[in-house]
């Protein structure tokens, strides 16, 4: 009888060990990160407190969104306006600029692409062309970028995205950041 009790005890302890090993293995898996939600797709804007030339536009891929950053060193709090449009029209001339994607975000940043004092280009982009140094191939949300020009101290960009998706805009010292979510649900 004592042997049966010992055998049962050994099985119980072995089972507990397997359960602990399973729990440890489960605990070590990568946790699922929830993406931010609630950004919406309505127009967004912010006032400017200074204006110097736009120096660079860059993009990045993140788990939950694609990001576009407008660098304006020394610009203080840079003004902006970001909204979905049916078609992108150049602010100065009204000319249509085609942008690929399921939806188009028009981004206006309160910084010219040229030096206001000398007129020399600060950001060497050409109207109607993709942004220099920006390649969005392989991005989950971004599809295309188009430079629409600078007019009266404001630079206009067309950002083609996969679909009309939620976005947020963050106004920081010396830059404006536009994040476009990968989806509406907040899942990765």
Whether residue 151 contacts residue 91, with contact meaning beta carbons closer than 8 Å, is answered with yes
Q: What is the pTM of this model?
A: 0.80
70-123 per-position pLDDT tens digit: 999 987 778 899 999 999 999 989 999 999 999 999 999 999 999 888 889 999
Kindly list the domain boundaries of the chain, sorted by start residue: 44-181
- For domain 44-181, which CATH number applies: 3.30.1330.40, 3.40.50.2300, 3.90.1310.10, 2.60.40.3500? 2.60.40.3500
Quickly tell me which residue has 């407190």 as its tokens: 49
Q: By three-state DSSP, how is residue 144 classified?
A: strand
**Two structure tokens written together for 161:** 């995205």
CB 168 within 8 A of CB 176: no
């Amino acid at each position: 009888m004592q042997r049966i009790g010992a055998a049962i005890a050994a099985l119980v302890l072995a089972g507990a060990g397997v359960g602990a090993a399973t729990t440890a293995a489960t605990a070590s898996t990568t946790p699922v990160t929830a993406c931010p939600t609630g950004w919406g797709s309505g127009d967004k804007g912010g006032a400017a407190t200074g204006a110097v030339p736009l120096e660079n536009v860059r993009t990045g891929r993140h788990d939950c969104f694609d990001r576009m950053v407008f660098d304006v060193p020394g610009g203080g709090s840079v003004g902006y306006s970001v909204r979905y449009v049916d078609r992108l029209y150049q602010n100065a001339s009204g000319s249509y600029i085609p942008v690929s994607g399921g939806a188009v975000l028009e981004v206006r940043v309160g910084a010219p692409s040229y030096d206001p004092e000398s007129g020399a280009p600060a950001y060497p982009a050409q109207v109607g062309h993709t942004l220099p140094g920006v390649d969005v191939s392989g991005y989950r949300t971004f599809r295309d970028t188009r430079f629409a020009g600078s007019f009266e101290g404001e630079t206009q960009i067309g950002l083609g995205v996969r679909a009309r998706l939620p976005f947020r805009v963050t106004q920081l010292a010396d830059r404006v950041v536009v994040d476009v979510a990968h989806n509406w649900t907040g899942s990765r």
